[in-house]
Structure 1
Amino acid sequence: MQNFHPRHYAIVPAAGSGSRMGGAQPKQYLELLGKPLIRHALEVLCATPEIDKVFVVLSVGDAEWGRHDWSALGPKLVPLFCGGATRADSVLSGLRAIAGEAEQTDWVLVHDAARPCLARWHIEKLIHGLAHDEVGGLLAIPVADTLKRADPSRHVLETVPRDSLWQAQTPQMFRYVMLRRALEAATHVTDEASAIEAAGLHPKLIEGDATNLKVTYPLDLHLAEWILNNREG
């Protein structure tokens, strides 16, 4: 039966090692303003009324999660120790794990564990912008810089026109059944929108902003700290 009042579930894949940061500790647990990096986004997701539950998909052997106190985030937060080798594997494992709770037409918002500067207005803009969309979509920002395509020796082959190019962010939001089927069929994608595209569908782009930064390299931690400090101030 059609669900006319769909719920919104968040899935945060957090089973990766964050190797590009160059440290021994998984990136999601690096300290940012006195908290694990992942906690900043989890706090926002759990505090957003439109989000019914927040599932964090961790690796099976994750021992670090239990060393932190997450109780202040409330009952919305649910860890799932079923992460896979890739982001797509982890998201799909999470979708399978919540199959008994989520209805086919419920929305699922997938958010990067390494985007600690997520703000409530990002989530609300995405949810409201996609409420009546048949496919779903993602936060993204138009590409502003000139793009160069390089050869293996890092010499420029060509300048790539940036017209109509967007930089994908998260959250990315799709119906439960649509996202699960897409990921079951396309397991080597780097984000959920790519899986939906592989199914022949066209996700909608909802314009976000550059403060929704993904922490990939050590310098990004300092940028994230500056963003959070100035936003809170």
Structure 2
Amino acid sequence: MVNFDVGVILPAAGTGDRLGGPTPKQYCKIMGRPLFLFALQEFLAVPWVKKIALVVDNPDHACRFLEETCFDKDKLIVVQGEHTRHRSIRAGVQEILKNDLNLQVLVVHDAVRPFVPMGFLEELVLSANEHGAAGAIRPLVSTVVKQDENGFLQKCLDRSEYVASETPQAFQSNVLSKAFSHCSEEELEKGTECLQLALAYAGVSARLITGPSDLWKVTYKKDLYAATCCIRERARRACVVAAEDSATVRQVEAALRGSLGAVERVASAKAIAPGSFNTIVLCHSRGVDPDRQLVDLAAAVDVNKEGVVVHVTEHAEGVREGEGVVAVRCGGRGGQERRAAALVEAVVASADPSAFAGQTFFL
């Protein structure tokens, strides 16, 4: 358990040249929001994170996005970045410590890495507090080779002996501050690895911890597409409504749990709190109950946020038409449970579930 104050530096001042296009990747929009907001809001939700320095290329531009978002203004400071990664992180460190000298550990995390697993973050912060520094690592995917000045192979590294350094990284605040105050101009200009600075200038060898697979960074255009799909999956919250247990209900629930960020099951639509889900799947054991129609769910599901209401029933005739309503008719024959679940999952997890609105699928 983290029982001390933690600060976060989120560098987001890069130009994103490898992504291509006129918009720096931190401002590319996913589901209507700039990419940097996803990581920022993850940290804003952590109670022991007391201060966040968002380091950007243009504070006025970034603040225009922030004005549209509800957040704790006392917790966030926006810092003018510089033209290299290390210089921008140093600016964030200096500003955050100027605002709060009681921060025991500082976390550095790329703002274009939208996912921040909270359990792993806590493990990392506790390890940094104990050892001075800690960093996330992942196994190498490709073999690393060295070429000579003419472009010919010179050396291959043994992939089993190396790992990829990722973020988040965490440091005792005095360790990171000392590292940046003593590093060379060349390192500020060309360096990218904070853990190396802590080793070279603060004498601290970081504890390396293997992180989960979703620590990847949006670098190329294909990564932006992947982030969009992953964020959309996590944003979808589904509720399975079933008065009685059945093989179809169990199959539907299992299929959705494998695709969506959050899935719950309730016995009655009346148990659904307003605004708590953007997808509702109603499994009717007999005919469609008029009391469990879209008209009763209007306050509970927001179909405008890529949501949908799906009725799974033997008799589709009872399903009222409405915005975002889809019917899956099983036909009452045995052995169709898995097919029905796969069809529901395909509709709900699609890029645009609302495209299926008004349709009835027969099995």
TM range (shorter): 0.7 to 0.9
Residue in structure 2 matching 1:208, options 200, 203, 211: 211
SS in 2 for 1:170: strand
State the TM-score, normalizing by the size of structure 1: 0.87
Residues 29 and 77 (structure 1 numbering): CA distance in 2 closer, same or farther, change over 3 Å? farther
Q: Partner amino acid for 2:52?
A: V
Identity, % of aligned positions: 27
* SS, match of residue 98 in structure 2: coil
TM-superposition CA deviations, 1:178-204 (whole Å, max 9, x none): 111101222242121121122233111
Pairwise CA distance, 1:96:
1.7
Rounded to whole Å, the distance in 1 between the matches of 2:35 and 2:75 is 16
Partner SS state of residue 161, structure 2: coil
Q: 2:224 matched to 1:221?
A: yes
2:16 counterpart of 1:18? yes
1:71-220 to 2 correspondence within 5 Å? 71-75=69-73, 77-103=75-101, 106-133=104-131, 135-152=132-149, 154-186=151-183, 187-188=188-189, 189-199=191-201, 200-220=203-223
Per the alignment, in what secondary structure is the counterpart of residue 70 of structure 2?
Answer: helix
Higher RCO (CA-CA < 8 Å; seq separation 6+): 1
| 1:230 CA displacement | 3.7
- 5+ residue gaps, structure 1: none
Determine the C-alpha separation between the residues in 2 that align with 1:154 and 1:223: 32
Q: Which amino acid aligns with 2:210?
A: E
Q: Is the 8 A contact 2:129 2:171 kept in 1?
A: no
- Deviation of residue 89 (structure 1)? 0.9
Note the alpha carbon deviations across 1:143-174, whole angstroms, 9 max, x for none.
24333323456543332112331111111111
Answer 1 or 2: which has greater helix percent. Answer: 2
CA distance in 2, matches of 1:210, 1:70: 31
Q: CA deviation at 1:76?
A: 5.2
Kindly tell me the number of residue pairs found equivalent between the two proteins. 228
Q: Report the CA distance between 1:88 and its aligned residue.
A: 1.1
Deviation at 1:19? Answer: 1.6
Q: Answer with 1 or 2: which has the greater Rg.
A: 2
Gaps of 5+ in 2: 236-259, 261-363
Q: How much has 1:175 moved relative to structure 2? A: 1.5
CA distance 1:67–1:101, shift in 2 (3 Å): closer
Q: What is the match of residue 8 of structure 1?
A: 6
Structure 1 residues 118 and 37: alpha-carbon distance in aligned structure 2, compared to 1, 3 A threshold: same
1:52 counterpart residue number: 50
RMSD: 2.3
Offset of residue 231 of structure 1: 4.1
Q: Conserved in 2, the CA contact under 8 Å of 1:58 and 1:79?
A: no
